A and B are shown apart, each in its own frame.
Chain A
Amino acid sequence: MLSLGMLLGIVFLLMCLAASMALGVADIGPGEVYRALAASDGSTEHLIIRTVRLPRSLTALLVGSAVAVAGAIMQGLTRNPLADPGILGINAGAAFAVVMGVFFFNTASLSLYAGFALVGAAVAAVSVYGLGSLGRGGLTPLNLTIAGAALTALVSSLTTAILILSQRTLEEIRFWLAGSVAGRDMALVMQVLPYLAVGLVLGLALGKQLTTLSLGESVAQGLGQNTLWIKGAAAVSVVLLAGGSVAIAGPIGFVGLIVPHIVRFWAGADYRWILPYAALTGAIVLLLADIAARLVIQPQELPVGIMMPIIGAPFFVYLVKSRVKR
């Protein structure tokens, strides 16, 4: 059943991808999209598709699945249904690093942002891990969440401080800070692709171990699991996924939080299914959100990072209302 669903999901994903390339300010038919990809004749429409829409759609697809898988891993790892790269401070760390980069080195190129973002995400993840294990009882879900919240608050207020001190930085960075997949070129996508691919493969490979770990640390140890290694590997995967996606698209919240919960409706509690489904669903959600962001206020567009909470939060509230009894 679940593998059939997977197949259907992939078909739907491809449809979304096609729609994402066809729809926009200039509407281009699906046939034309196919011809542009198969054999471009150099016309304006084909150029739009190959240089603007293709990278953009691929970015949305990659970032969506990366963030969703990162969120699912974090929720399994911390046994905290509210964990995601945003809440555990990784997005804030990456954003802070990029703002620092713009402030001190005066760069305005997206590929340099990417480098800073990866470093920032890694430092933030390591600090949250380290700080979280200082608390009573070691690396418990609660300690990790507290450490993440504290780090987020600290780092984002430092980010605000820089933005207040330097209006130039604010001007350069504010579109990036909102989180968007528009205007990314193929070179940038290719630059970040290796990180995302390694992170995704590593994450998907950990499915079985994560399922065991989500039963509780002592259970996992009792079943003979080396929890330290698993946690370490999962953390590496999260840093690659979250850092890589912040690097291309800026901080995009909510996908990582919401998608794993949606997926659990049909995939249950088994991370061997949750993770691939999260990758698929995350990509679909972000592609659709990006299409919506392009179409709501034509010819203007909204950054997809802003669309996500507006679409996602009502759903989240609904989940809370129907699921949380006490």
Chain B
Amino acid sequence: MGFLKEISVPGKKQAIERPRWLVLRTGWLSLRVDKRVPNVLLLLALTTLAVMVWSVGQGEYPVPPLDVVRTVVGLPTDNADYVFVVNTLRLPRTLVAWGVGMALAIAGTITQGITRNPLASPGIIGVNAGAALAAVSLIVVFPSVPISLLPLAAFSGAFTVAILIYLIAWNGGSAPVRLILVGIGFSLVAGALTELMVTFGNIYDVSQALVWLAGSVYGRSWAQVVSFTPWLVVFGLLSLLLSRELNALQLGDDIAQGLGSRLEWQRGWLLLCSVALAGSAVATAGSIGFVGLMSPHIARQLVGPSHEGLLPVAALTGGLVVVAADLIGRLLFAPIELPCGIVTAVIGAPYFLYLLLRARK
């Protein structure tokens, strides 16, 4: 690939925007990203930081923004309670929101890439339905089981269903259309079984299960941050390394094979990343919808369709969206909290329609 940048397709547009790419190349790694990527990343990171500080300051016990920053960094403030409120209660919650948003966005970008379908979201590979079924069964059927096992159950549910879908859709190869359709079928069955729990369970357990189903970061602590971070780091980085393959897969199976992509292996690895990221996110915070769908589209508008740059930008966008959604959900009906999954859906659906309208012009 080393000489590819010199062979540019001749054309006026190319000539005017000559230096469009930034190329990073070491012995074994080569990344080529759009020139806009660093600035966009910086901007997103700063915005996220600002929203996080605001979010941590808000609540029944308000903390001024400057004191939030001082407390987090470890400088003394004039109120000793701040340490507990900020560092123990609110910071981990916001961090979980951020991490979950990033994971969902990366998973969404990958899913849209491998299925070549701009409407695909991690939900399509059955992750949400599987996790929901496992978690709701745990809450409703075994209320005595400690709640700390919930993420584990959700994660194994997500993984089992995703693998089942992949195996059943396999028919001498994993055609994306079959993957989507089998995924829909499985999600419907898991949905029906979840509905069964909701219909016959104890009403108090069902209420709890609904909050979990809607996707919420309420009451998340450092324990969740610690258990979630390795998944995000390992599979996030792996996805970044594989992102170049997504560009080839995007062109269709035949062309990708022609370009020398080991199609099924690449798709399998990418799918694994996507399932691991979405599964751990759903296990941590329930099924927060629309983030995996929205973020890649926003990112594509910001930095174009090449996946090396798209993936990190989408990740930061997703993080920002969930952090903001959590903040909005807490502020809107102040004493009552809306789960952030509902906020993302209410924002996400109109955005979806906006995409439709924009396509018309």
Q: Which of A136, A170, A254, A305 contacts B359 (CB 8 A)?
A: A136
Residues of B near A177 (CB, < 8 A) are 195, 199
Residues of A near B341 (CB, < 8 A) are 157
Residues of A near B356 (CB, < 8 A) are 131, 134-136, 143, 146-147
Number of interface residues of B (CB under 8 A): 47
Contact B203–A310 (Cβ < 8 Å): no
Contact B175–A324 (Cβ < 8 Å): yes
Q: Which of A134, A178, A302, A316 contacts B353 (CB 8 A)?
A: A134
Residues of B near A160 (CB, < 8 A) are 210, 213-214, 342
Contact B203–A170 (Cβ < 8 Å): yes
Interface string of B162-184 (1 = CB under 8 A from A): 00000011010001011001101
Q: What residue of chain A has the Cβ atom nearest to residue B165's Cβ?
A: A317
Q: What residue of chain B has the Cβ atom nearest to residue A143's Cβ?
A: B356
Q: How far apart are the CA atoms of A116 and B35 in the complex, in Å?
A: 54
Residues of B near A151 (CB, < 8 A) are 349
Residues of B near A174 (CB, < 8 A) are 198-199, 206
Contact B353–A150 (Cβ < 8 Å): yes
Instruction: Classify the interface of chain B: helix, strand, loop or mixed.
Output: helix
Q: What residue of chain B has the Cβ atom nearest to residue A300's Cβ?
A: B200
Instruction: Classify the interface of chain A: helix, strand, loop or mixed.
Output: helix
Contact B349–A154 (Cβ < 8 Å): yes
Q: Which of B195, B214, B350, B352 contacts A178 (CB 8 A)?
A: B195
Q: What residue of chain B has the Cβ atom nearest to residue A167's Cβ?
A: B207
Quick check: is B69 within 8 A (CB to CB) of the other chain?
Answer: no
Return B192 CB to nearest CB of chain A, in Å. 4
Interface string of B344-361 (1 = CB under 8 A from A): 011011101100110110
Q: How far apart are the CA atoms of A163 and B210 in the complex, in Å?
A: 8
Interface centre among A146, A157, A163, A309 (most CB of B within 10 A): A157
Q: What residue of chain A has the Cβ atom nearest to residue B344's Cβ?
A: A157
Q: Which of A103-154 contact B (CB under 8 A)?
A: 131, 134-136, 143, 146-147, 149-151, 153-154
15 residue pairs bridging A and B, Cβ less than 8 Å apart: A136-B360, A149-B119, A150-B352, A154-B349, A157-B342, A160-B213, A165-B333, A170-B203, A170-B207, A174-B206, A175-B199, A178-B195, A310-B189, A324-B177, A324-B178
Known: A170-B207, A324-B181. 20 other contacts (CB 8 A): A134-B353, A135-B359, A146-B356, A157-B345, A160-B342, A177-B199, A178-B198, A302-B196, A305-B195, A306-B195, A308-B192, A310-B193, A313-B192, A314-B185, A321-B169, A321-B171, A324-B177, A324-B178, A325-B175, A326-B175
Interface residues of B (CB under 8 A from A): 119, 168-169, 171, 175, 177-178, 181-182, 184-186, 188-189, 191-193, 195-196, 198-199, 203, 206-207, 210-211, 213-214, 289-290, 333, 336, 338-339, 341-342, 345-346, 348-350, 352-353, 356-357, 359-360
